[in-house]
Amino acid sequence: MLDPNEGTELKFIASSNISGIQCTKIEKSDVVDEIAYWQNAVLCAVMGANPPFEIMKGFLNRIWANFAIDRILYVRKGVFLVRFANLKDKIQVEKRGFYFFDSNYDGQRLESQHGSPNRNHSVITPLGSAPVT
Q: What pLDDT is attached to residue 86?
A: 94
pLDDT of the residue at 73: 95
Quote the pLDDT of residue 87.
94
Q: Find the angle CA(109)-CA(70)-CA(61) to the nearest 5 degrees.
A: 20
Single-letter amino acid code for the residue at 37: Y
Predicted local confidence at residue 4, as pLDDT: 79
**pLDDT recorded at residue 117:** 42
Q: What pLDDT, in 10s, does the model give residues 75-96?
A: 999 899 999 999 999 999 988 8
Cβ distance 45 to 125 under 8 Å?
Answer: yes
What is the reported pLDDT for 101? Answer: 64
- Cα separation values, 35 from 10, 28, 40, 130, 131, Å: 28, 9, 9, 11, 9
Cα–Cα distance for residue pair 39/47, rounded to 1 Å: 24
Low-confidence residues of the chain: pLDDT under 70: 101-133
What is the fold of 39-126?
Alpha-Beta Plaits (3.30.70)
